[in-house]
């Protein structure tokens, strides 16, 4: 009985083919196995939802009268760059006796194969294999456990419901708000995109509206043969704020004066042996966050870098993973992987010599691996020193995180001392490293919160102190501190907050729903978006002109703030993701997808009705047109490159380039000379170039009809040299 396996990606197809039979050959778009089975592959989703204009050409033009839009049943079309492979898969299904869905073991992996088979009108038996790791033993075990596809079809229905809902939600509300505001740009609204805008706007406003106030720290410097600082321990009736900080200046000064120069006694000394595990290997989000902090790389840039490391150089595993764990069987590969890292980059040779491949860190836990395992180096060899700097930097991060799994735990003694003076208690914590372990690899990683010690701990050895020891307070210390608002977002901190977006939901029930969604994930606790989509969504917010970067900080534009103010809370908070998740997880049948969409359309219809009644003042009119003075500059984002144009167009055709979300410098008008081009008789323009050999500037003449005419002439004392 010949089977056709349809894998989500080529690497998975090859891993399956190598275990299905004793040998296989590669053909155009598939592998043919010696036992008669065939294994083909997708490149992610091969189909996409039809656009409104695919149903009716009138929808190509945005018109408020056409909203809300919804077509049931919805249809799908083949992505333009995937038509050849779809044709190959379709041909193979005709000759197969049964088909095995080998999409990734998640809802999207289920859908991308199931929707293809439905698109083809398949009526042959379909089975399911769940592979989350290309390690041969794991692939073999998965193939031994093939089940009926019907057991998992509901996951595909759930993914389809979310996909259709996202499209209808985005298309209708984006068109509605854009049309009502009369914007030349696109005022895009999305289930994930808009709550991200909301996070940035609220943080920006909290930062700017923060009212300065003060709190007071009281400390004592104590001498017990060793000098240390103790922090005042707040009592129940002390004048403190909600963060247990003293807010009464006189009260704080009195404590300082009361203890200064007075005898003190140690009432408690406790030393505990503690240890910390190495940081888990990266998933895409934690890698993007670290790369932003260390190198200033944008999230979409990191995704592109990892894509190149994976596809072109085969140096890392699947790069869009949301998981930080590894299958336990992968521990067997550790010696080989460490050896290859050492070959690829001499910078790691010494640290790998000190690594112990028999150590099995907490990262090796098959129960916590989702559709993909963490991002780690592969066993492919390549001289990393020859790579571009950004590729090298990202490979080093991934390699270091993997190597750290084979170092001992970081061990230290933590001593907690309670000192009493004049009836007040003071607490001191000190850490003394006893075995650096994995921290040897991270000693120079400044600003990495994930590996930082207790911020309250002092770098002192207080282990020799004893209970009831007598000493003195040599100095009372009083510090006035100014309260600070939560800092403005950076790319790194925004990415991290997206993994904990549930904390911003007001409804406790919805908040818990979003938290429960991520119960099996290490780094997500009520997240919105996915590692594969967050970077592009953030990029869209910048490209649409809703967000800009000011230094390293992300702030909203005037347009971004106005759009935020025009939207209801259910859209600009993460509530919608929680509501959808609760409804979608109950879907078990195909017809239930349509029921969910019908409910959603009731919400969308209501929102569109409200949009039509709103007076939207979203467009930023603060940039006056320097040419006509009557109009204002509007950012146009509908083309490939955003630019700013006059609102009086076509009466005024003034334009300026976009520079970080604001109108860029006005380009000087090109002056035409009186000299003519001998090829086409158009006027010539005197330009300046730079020699690639000598690096010196030089002048030359080019035709004003470029690019139709590419004629150029050397300059001869201010005139073209025609010979």
How far is CA 577 from each of CA 166, 190, 512, 562, 639, rounded to the nearest angstrom?
10, 11, 12, 23, 30
pLDDT at 456 exceeding the cut of 90 = no
Structural domains of the chain ordered from first start? 3-151 (3.40.50.140), 162-169+176-208+490-613 (1.10.460.10), 214-277+410-482 (2.70.20.10), 306-367+375-406 (1.10.290.10), 621-667 (no CATH), 684-721 (no CATH)
pLDDT at 405 exceeding the cut of 70 = yes
- Asked if residues 554 and 565 have their Cβ atoms less than 8 Å apart, the reply is no
Lowest-confidence range among 322-326, 521-525, 668-672?
Answer: 668-672
Rounded-to-integer distance, Cα 712 and Cα 694, Å: 20
pLDDT score at 463: 97
Lowest-confidence range among 231-245, 437-451, 457-471?
Answer: 437-451
Residue whose structure tokens are 């859908």: 111
Region 271-276: mean pLDDT is 97
Region 548-575: mean pLDDT is 93
Residue 1 banded pLDDT, cuts 50, 70, 90: low
Helix (H) or strand (E) holding 496: helix 491-498
- Asked if residues 417 and 465 have their Cβ atoms less than 8 Å apart, the reply is yes
pLDDT at 235 exceeding the cut of 80 = yes
Residue 227 banded pLDDT, cuts 50, 70, 90: very high
Rounded-to-integer distance, Cα 534 and Cα 270, Å: 45
Cis amide prior to 61 (ω within 30 degrees): no
Residue whose structure tokens are 């090796």: 364
Residue whose structure tokens are 């009464």: 248
- Asked if residues 172 and 67 have their Cβ atoms less than 8 Å apart, the reply is yes
- Asked if residues 546 and 185 have their Cβ atoms less than 8 Å apart, the reply is no
Cα torsion 334, 335, 340, 343: sign: positive
Active-site annotation holder among 318, 395, 424, 442: 318
pLDDT score at 449: 72
pTM for this predicted structure: 0.80
Rounded-to-integer distance, Cα 26 and Cα 667, Å: 55
pLDDT score at 634: 82
Region 237-262: mean pLDDT is 96
pLDDT score at 652: 87
Residue 121 banded pLDDT, cuts 50, 70, 90: very high
3-state DSSP assignment of residue 706: coil
pLDDT score at 639: 66
Rounded-to-integer distance, Cα 464 and Cα 404, Å: 32
Lowest-confidence range among 29-38, 547-556, 570-579, 646-655?
Answer: 646-655
pLDDT at 238 exceeding the cut of 90 = yes
Region 582-597: mean pLDDT is 94
Residue 638 banded pLDDT, cuts 50, 70, 90: low
* CA end-to-end span of the chain: 77
Identify which has the larger pLDDT, 434 or 689: 434
pLDDT at 131 exceeding the cut of 80 = yes
pLDDT score at 447: 72
User: Directed axis angle between helix 153-181 and helix 558-566, to 10°?
Assistant: 110
pLDDT at 434 exceeding the cut of 90 = yes
- What digits encode the pLDDT tens for the residues 11-28? 999 999 999 999 999 999
Cα torsion 179, 180, 185, 186: sign: negative
Region 436-454: mean pLDDT is 83
Cα torsion 158, 164, 167, 171: sign: negative
Helix (H) or strand (E) holding 474: strand 470-482
Rounded-to-integer distance, Cα 86 and Cα 119, Å: 10
Tokens at residue 432, please? Answer: 């003394």
> Is residue 564 annotated as part of the catalytic site, yes or no?
no
């Amino acid at each position: 009985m010949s089977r056709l396996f349809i894998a989500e990606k080529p690497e998975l197809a090859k891993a399956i083919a190598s275990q299905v039979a004793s040998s296989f050959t590669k053909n155009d778009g598939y592998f043919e196995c010696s036992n008669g089975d065939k294994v083909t592959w997708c490149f992610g989703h091969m189909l996409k939802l039809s656009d409104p204009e695919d149903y009716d050409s009138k929808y190509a033009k945005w018109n408020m009268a056409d909203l809300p839009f919804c077509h049931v049943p919805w249809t799908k079309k083949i992505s333009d760059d995937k038509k050849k492979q779809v044709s190959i898969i379709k041909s193979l299904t005709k000759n197969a006796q049964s088909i095995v869905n080998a999409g990734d073991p998640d809802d999207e992996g289920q859908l991308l194969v199931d929707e293809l088979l439905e698109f083809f009108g398949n009526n042959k038996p379909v089975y399911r294999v769940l592979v989350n790791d290309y390690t041969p033993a794991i692939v073999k075990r998965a193939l031994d456990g093939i089940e009926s596809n019907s057991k998992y079809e509901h996951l595909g229905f759930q993914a389809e419901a979310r996909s259709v809902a996202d499209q209808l939600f985005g298309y209708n509300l984006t068109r509605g708000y854009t049309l009502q505001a009369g914007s030349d740009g696109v005022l895009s609204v999305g289930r994930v995109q808009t709550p991200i805008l909301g996070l940035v706007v609220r943080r920006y406003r909290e930062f700017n509206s923060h009212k300065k106030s003060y709190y007071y720290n009281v400390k004592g410097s104590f001498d017990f043969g060793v000098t240390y600082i103790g922090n005042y321990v707040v009592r129940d009736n002390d004048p403190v704020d909600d963060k247990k900080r003293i807010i009464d200046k006189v009260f704080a000064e009195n404590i300082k004066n009361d203890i200064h120069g007075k005898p003190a006694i140690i009432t408690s000394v406790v030393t505990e042996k503690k240890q910390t595990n190495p940081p888990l290997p990266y998933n895409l989000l934690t890698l993007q966050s670290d790369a932003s902090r260390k190198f200033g790389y944008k999230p979409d840039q990191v995704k592109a870098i990892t894509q190149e490391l994976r596809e072109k150089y085969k140096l890392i595993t699947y790069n869009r993973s949301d998981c930080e764990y590894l299958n336990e069987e992968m521990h067997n590969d550790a010696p080989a992987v460490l050896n290859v890292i050492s070959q690829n980059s001499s910078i790691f040779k010494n640290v790998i010599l000190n690594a112990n491949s028999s150590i099995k860190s907490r990262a090796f836990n098959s129960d916590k691996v989702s559709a993909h395992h963490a991002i780690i180096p592969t066993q492919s060899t390549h001289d990393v020193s020859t790579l571009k700097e950004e590729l090298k930097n990202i490979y080093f991060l991934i390699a270091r995180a993997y190597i750290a799994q084979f170092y001992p735990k970081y061990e230290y003694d933590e001593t907690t001392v309670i000192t009493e003076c004049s009836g007040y208690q003071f607490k001191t914590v000190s850490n003394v490293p006893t075995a650096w372990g994995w921290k040897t690899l991270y000693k120079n990683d400044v600003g990495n919160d994930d590996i930082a010690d207790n911020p309250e701990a002092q770098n002192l050895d207080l282990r020799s102190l004893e209970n009831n020891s007598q000493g003195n307070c040599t100095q009372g210390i009083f510090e006035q501190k100014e309260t600070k608002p939560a800092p403005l977002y950076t790319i790194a901190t925004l990415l991290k907050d997206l993994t904990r977006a549930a904390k911003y939901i007001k409804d406790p029930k919805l908040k818990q729903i979003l938290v429960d969604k991520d119960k099996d994930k290490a780094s997500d606790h009520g997240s919105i978006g996915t590692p594969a989509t967050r970077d592009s969504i953030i990029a869209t917010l910048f490209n649409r002109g809703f967000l800009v970067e000011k230094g390293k900080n992300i702030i909203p534009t005037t347009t971004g703030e106005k759009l935020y103010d025009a939207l209801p809370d259910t859209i600009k908070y993460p509530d919608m993701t929680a509501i959808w998740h609760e409804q979608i997880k109950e879907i078990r049948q195909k017809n239930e997808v349509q029921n969910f969409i019908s409910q959603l359309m009731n919400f969308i219809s209501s929102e569109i009705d409200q949009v039509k009644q709103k007076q939207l003042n979203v467009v930023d009119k603060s940039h006056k047109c320097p040419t006509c003075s009557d109009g204002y500059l509007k950012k146009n984002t509908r083309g490939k490159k955003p630019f700013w144009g006059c609102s009086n167009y076509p009466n005024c055709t003034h334009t300026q380039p976009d520079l970080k979300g604001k109108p860029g410098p006005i380009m000087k008008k090109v002056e035409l000379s009186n000299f003519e081009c001998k090829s086409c008789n158009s006027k010539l323009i005197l330009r300046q170039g730079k020699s690639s050999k000598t690096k010196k500037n030089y002048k030359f003449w080019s035709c004003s009809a470029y690019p139709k005419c590419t004629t150029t002439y050397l300059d001869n004392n201010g005139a073209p040299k025609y010979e």
